[in-house]
Structure 1
Amino acid sequence: MRLARALELTHNIASTPSAIEGLDALLDPSLVEQALEQAGVATLRKRRLPLEMMLWCVIAMAFFRRMSAWDVVSRMNIMLPGQRP
């Protein structure tokens, strides 16, 4: 992907709060998995919030920094069991 196209796509997604669901169009999910593998990070036990979901949440908070963390997590539908928005 050319840099200009990548920047345009990033701007379009980041300027539309409803585009949180479209993060996988901007960043290939296999790239996230590969980054975790190369970092030597693995989820060895069952967690309430898997590491992959937490990483996607951090990425979303970076793009949508004007939104609260609570709003980002609510829109991504990755709430902890028993929690509500």
Structure 2
Amino acid sequence: MFATPDSLSTFQKHIPLEWISNVLEQTDKASIRKRKLPAELVVWLIIAMGLFRDRSISDVVEKLDLTLTDTLGDTVAPSAIPQARQRLSSDPLQALFHLCA
């Protein structure tokens, strides 16, 4: 399931959720198992981190009103963000860039 906070709606008008799903599948990075920090959310975080690069990651998460919690209400550890970025790699973002261009 996609994370769709209201503050991402501006970006979602120009980058459809289907595009993110497609590039994740094309690059074999789609989240197969349930994760607290799914690949779709990591893509949005990386996009936002690029746009708000003068802010810390925690500020970006707060600015976008992303609550990093699972369905049981457990909070995602801040250390999970760099791990998720590394797991995702740059391949889906490159594919998304080319698709948007």
The CA distance in 2 between the partners of 1:49 and 1:78, in whole Å, is 11
Candidates 46, 49, 54, aligned match of 2:42 = 54
Match of 1:71 in 2: 59
Please identify the structure whose Cα radius of gyration is greater: 1
TM superposition score normalised by structure 2 = 0.54
Shift of 1:57: 0.4
Paired with 1:26 and 1:68, the residues of 2 have a C-alpha distance of 25
Aligned equivalents of 1:63 and 1:55: distance in 2? 13
Aligned counterpart for 2:29 among listed residues 41, 47, 61? 41
The structure with more helix, counted as a fraction of residues: 1
RMSD: 1.7
Among all aligned residue pairs of Structure 1 and Structure 2, give the percentage whose two residues are the same amino acid. 33
Output one character per residue of 1:18-50: Cα deviation in whole Å (capped at 9) or x when no partner: xx5321123222111111111022212111111
Any runs of at least 4 consecutive aligned residues in structure 1 with deviations exceeding 2 A, and if so which? 75-83
Highest RCO, 1 vs 2 (Cα 8 Å, sep ≥ 6): 2
Q: Which runs of 5+ in 1 are unaligned?
A: 1-19
Structure 2: any 5+ residue segments left out of the alignment? 1-6, 76-101
